[in-house]
């Protein structure tokens, strides 16, 4: 088994032309990865695509073929003409879009709450066509209340597969709010142990350990070792040893760390847990 492939897998699809032209810098992908790793859920794919129906549909179909436990989309749930994620997801799932009355009520309630902030000519017509559009979800979906905005999140459990699709807004605080309130507990119930231990060395370059590291990984299956240089010319390296799954693998991490440290010391390097060296 590839040590970086947890039994609990997810994929992330980031949607928006503004991402691909550099207008907006994505933070949602990294935030989701961090939250998912808390429960041992490993993101095997993260993709950035435009607001384009066929592309969205293709990416959903492609992701489903790999049967991850979760597929997350970010962006494209709003009221504007280029917010087309749910239509593309519906095409990818081969289901129609249909109005969800619970979603409609969520949207209505949100705009009633903020109507005092609307322009006077909009007060009489809180639910415009563009806003009603946000209540059309892939058939069989469940709307997830957005605590920070109008567009509901969407949950779709793929029939016959152990895969759930979550569609989330692109605005970070909205995505975080929906994830925290509705999704975090679902992922937590499927928790897989995730072990991650780091330490630091000084006095050696990555190339000095390049032949030794694969030997350790081969001798102790189920772990992943990664070196991160901390600056040109410092010869300080952060070592990360990771595994998913069982307490037995956690014990294996200890054996791998001991082997790495012994080799670093043998080659004349120094070791500590903070990265601060005199």
Same domain? 146 vs 202 = no
Residue 127 has pLDDT above 80, yes or no: no
pLDDT class for 173, splitting at 50, 70, 90?
A: very high
Residue 65 has pLDDT above 80, yes or no: yes
Write the CB contacts of 133 (distance below 8 Å, at least 6 apart in sequence). Answer: 79, 83
In a domain, residue 2? The reply is no
In a domain, residue 277? The reply is no
Same domain? 113 vs 248 = no
User: Which CATH number goes with the domain that contains 179?
Assistant: 3.40.980.10
Q: How much is the pLDDT for 125?
A: 61
Same domain? 148 vs 224 = no
In a domain, residue 278? The reply is no
CA atoms within 13 A on the CB side of 117: 5
Same domain? 157 vs 256 = no
| Residue that is last in its domain, among 145, 163, 188 | 188
Q: How much is the pLDDT for 1?
A: 45
Q: Residue 39: in which H helix or E strand, if any?
A: none
| Residue that is last in its domain, among 143, 161, 188 | 188
Choose the weakest-confidence range: 83-92, 170-179, 194-203. Answer: 194-203
Return the structure tokens found at 80: 């504007």
Same domain? 158 vs 59 = yes
Q: How much is the pLDDT for 30?
A: 97
Task: Provide, rounded to the nearest whole percent, the portion of the chain with pLDDT above 90.
Answer: 77
**CA–CA separation, 111 and 78 (whole Å):** 13
Same domain? 219 vs 256 = yes
How many domains are contained in the chain?
2
Same domain? 120 vs 144 = yes
Same domain? 227 vs 176 = no
Compare 96 and 125 and report the one with higher pLDDT: 96
In a domain, residue 21? The reply is yes
Compare 14 and 221 and report the one with higher pLDDT: 14
In a domain, residue 203? The reply is yes
Q: How much is the pLDDT for 119?
A: 58
Same domain? 127 vs 228 = no
Q: How much is the pLDDT for 120?
A: 54
Compare 4 and 36 and report the one with higher pLDDT: 36
Average pLDDT value for residue range 92-116? 90
Residue 81 has pLDDT above 70, yes or no: yes
Contact (Cβ atoms closer than 8 angstroms) between residue 135 and residue 104: yes
In a domain, residue 40? The reply is yes
In a domain, residue 207? The reply is yes
Q: How much is the pLDDT for 121?
A: 54
Mean pLDDT (the chain) is: 91
User: Which CATH number goes with the domain that contains 258?
Assistant: 3.30.70.1130
Contact (Cβ atoms closer than 8 angstroms) between residue 97 and residue 139: yes
* pTM, entire model: 0.88
Same domain? 137 vs 225 = no
Residue 176 region, left (φ>0) first, then alpha (ψ -120 to 50), else beta?
Answer: alpha
Which parts of 68-134 fold into alpha helices (H)?
85-93, 101-114, 129-133
Closest CA to 15 of 65, 92, 69, 83: 83
Q: How much is the pLDDT for 247?
A: 66
Same domain? 184 vs 198 = no
Closest CA to 156 of 167, 170, 145: 167
Q: How much is the pLDDT for 132?
A: 92
pLDDT class for 32, splitting at 50, 70, 90?
A: very high
Q: How much is the pLDDT for 165?
A: 98
Average pLDDT value for residue range 62-66? 97
Same domain? 169 vs 37 = yes
| Residue that is last in its domain, among 151, 168, 188 | 188
In a domain, residue 1? The reply is no
52-62 pLDDT per residue, tens: 999 999 999 99
Q: Tally Cβ neighbours within 10 Å of residue 66.
A: 12
Residue 162's domain comprises 8-188
**CA–CA separation, 6 and 245 (whole Å):** 7
């Amino acid at each position: 088994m590839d040590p970086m492939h947890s039994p609990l897998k997810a994929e992330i699809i980031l949607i928006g032309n503004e991402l691909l032209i550099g207008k907006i810098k994505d933070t949602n992908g990294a935030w989701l990865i961090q939250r998912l790793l808390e429960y041992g859920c490993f993101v095997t794919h993260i993709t950035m695509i435009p607001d384009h129906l066929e592309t969205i549909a293709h990416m959903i179909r492609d992701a489903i073929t790999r049967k991850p436990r979760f597929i997350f989309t970010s962006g494209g749930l709003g009221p504007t003409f280029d917010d087309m994620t749910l239509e593309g997801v519906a095409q990818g799932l081969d289901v129609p879009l249909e109005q969800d009355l619970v979603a409609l009520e969520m949207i209505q309630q949100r705009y009633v709450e903020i109507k005092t902030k609307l322009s006077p000519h909009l007060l009489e017509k809180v639910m415009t066509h563009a806003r009603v559009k946000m209540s059309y979800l892939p058939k069989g979906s469940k709307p997830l209340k957005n605590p920070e905005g109008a567009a509901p999140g969407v949950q779709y459990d793929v029939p016959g597969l152990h895969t759930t699709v979550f569609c989330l807004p692109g605005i970070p605080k909205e995505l975080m709010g929906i994830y925290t309130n509705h999704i975090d507990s679902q992922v937590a119930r499927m928790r897989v142990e995730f072990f991650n231990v780091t330490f630091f060395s000084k006095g050696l370059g990555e190339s000095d350990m390049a032949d030794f590291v694969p030997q350790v990984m081969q001798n102790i299956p189920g772990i992943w070792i990664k070196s991160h240089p901390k600056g040109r010319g410092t010869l300080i390296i952060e070592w990360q040893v990771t595994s998913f799954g069982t307490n037995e693998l956690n014990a294996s991490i200890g054996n791998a760390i001991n082997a790495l440290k012994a080799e670093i010391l043998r080659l004349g390097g120094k070791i500590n847990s903070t990265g601060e060296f005199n």
